[in-house]
A and B are shown apart, each in its own frame.
Chain A
């Protein structure tokens, strides 16, 4: 059972476009929603994160939009660049058993063409 559903599986955009990656969750106990960026041959690295008490968070060209009632959140990349080509994972976290357990989505492979 996939607790965090991510779409699309892959995405191709032209340089300057605005790719959007969507995630949906079921567990209302989740209280932290990070996005991780992974380049080939590297481990995932935290990109941006949001808590459910806000509807939007921006960091540079990256924006998370959060809809608590719909249990959905999305990542927008403004003015995308070829260097943004990577795999993106959404995740959701809840504090359980003494630590913050991260549940990951399946990932989206983004290609930004020059």
Chain B
């Protein structure tokens, strides 16, 4: 089955630093990837939709200059949290979608736990 990986699985950083999270589709090409953020006991909130070779589409309220998304290839999307602050501490999850895929998102990465001190 299709596998999506994320790296790192967890990261602790100091306030003001930048953190890069990678999302890879290991055995399929994903034209579209999605980045979600989940705070404790909260729902998954879509941050942005990432299409290979084009600029990401950000959801309302998500700062595009703070959360930089790059989808440079059909198997890799990266999310960079710039100048991270404690309020950015969260569980970040990506999902990857096959072209024409229907029936919901099945291919989620395992998530990255970000803690900003």
Asked if A and B are interacting partners, one says no
- B residues whose Cβ falls under 8 Å from a Cβ of A: none
